[in-house]
Amino acid sequence: MRHPILISLCIAGAFGLSACNKGGDAEVKRALKDVNVIDESNLNDVMLTVGDPEEAVAYFQRTAAANPDRIDLKRGLGKSLVRAKKPMEAAQVWAAVVASPEVTDEDRVALADAQIRANEWAKAEATLNTIPPTHETFERYKLEAMVADANKKWSKADSFYETAFGLTTQPGGVLNNWGYSKLTRGDFPGAEKLFAEALTYDASNFTTKNNLVLARAAQRKYDLPIVSMTQAERAELLYTAGLTAVKQGDVATGRGLLEDAVETSPKYFEQAARALEALSANITNG
């Protein structure tokens, strides 16, 4: 009498096991899908940071073409094109992202950045004007400052640079840009101060060191500033100071600085040597 009951239980158990297997398969598939997404996300991050720029462009072009609805892949392509120094193409990609319903204000900032890199200043200004004032980020104000500089709106540029400075923990780059803005306006003491401050955040940046020497030399302060420098950098900075001195009519001082540059350089300094030869020829002919 118990056999039918036992058979029923076995059948029920078999169906239950079958259901568990099906549920388990579904769980496994979902887990594998999640792992694939994580792997792809990690690969995307690698391509955007440490990967070769050209390889990253090829990767995102291929992946975005296979997934045309994925705006994150278009963003990756736009960033990769900027890294690969292809701003015109990057601007086109970012324009497509901005035209998407999923656009964010950060996307508009990225478009403006690509447009500036492509020397499309008017377009960049128009793009920045579409961003609401509530979007207060370092990148946004850095670009606003650069556009104001290009338009020679100095008070606006100073205001934007100051705001950008307050929105980052690594302000060396923006201080250098601000200093260069002051340099182009002829405010050499102001430029010198900003370049010196920039070096307190990034003492290894040679461009800032060179700009600091330019700002000082423009004030006829030809001695090198007290900053860390290699022997090769010292030669380059002496060369910068020497050329500035010659251009300002301080020929004897300039000649001495150029001679120091040639002597200081750890290898043959062709540009400084040529400058000395040209200077000697002019003096002889004069």
Q: Are residues 157 and 206 in the same domain?
A: yes
Q: Which two tokens stand for residue 168?
A: 């980052």
With respect to residue 190, please indicate whether it lies within any of the assigned structural domains: yes
Q: Residue 41: what pLDDT?
A: 57
Q: Residue 7: what pLDDT?
A: 38
Better pLDDT: 238 or 41: 238
Residues 6+ apart with CB under 8 A from 145: 157, 160, 161, 164, 174, 177, 178, 181
Query: CATH number of the domain that 77 lies in?
Result: 1.25.40
Number of structural domains in the chain: 3
Q: Which of 223, 242, 270 is the last residue of a domain?
A: 223
Most confident of 38-47, 52-61, 133-142, 271-280: 133-142
Q: Are residues 269 and 241 in the same domain?
A: yes
Q: Residue 24: what pLDDT?
A: 53
Q: Residue 98: what pLDDT?
A: 98
Q: Cβ(224)–Cβ(217) under 8 Å?
A: no
How far apart are alpha carbons 178 and 195 in whole angstroms?
8
Please compute the mean of the pLDDT values over residues 243-268 and round it to a whole number: 96
With respect to residue 39, please indicate whether it lies within any of the assigned structural domains: no
Q: Are residues 144 and 210 in the same domain?
A: yes
Q: Are residues 155 and 219 in the same domain?
A: yes
Please compute the mean of the pLDDT values over residues 198-217 and round it to a whole number: 97
With respect to residue 1, please indicate whether it lies within any of the assigned structural domains: no
Domain containing 264 equals 229-286
Q: Are residues 177 and 243 in the same domain?
A: no
Q: Which residue has the tokens 């002889």?
A: 284
Q: Are residues 278 and 240 in the same domain?
A: yes
**Whole-structure pTM value:** 0.79
Better pLDDT: 44 or 247: 247
Q: Residue 48: what pLDDT?
A: 76
Q: Which two tokens stand for residue 227?
A: 């900053």
Q: Are residues 165 and 182 in the same domain?
A: yes
With respect to residue 28, please indicate whether it lies within any of the assigned structural domains: no
With respect to residue 278, please indicate whether it lies within any of the assigned structural domains: yes
Kindly indicate the confidence band of residue 283, based on its pLDDT and cuts at 50, 70 and 90: low
With respect to residue 67, please indicate whether it lies within any of the assigned structural domains: yes
The C-alpha angle with vertex 116 and arms to 110 and 118, in degrees rounded to 5, equals 105
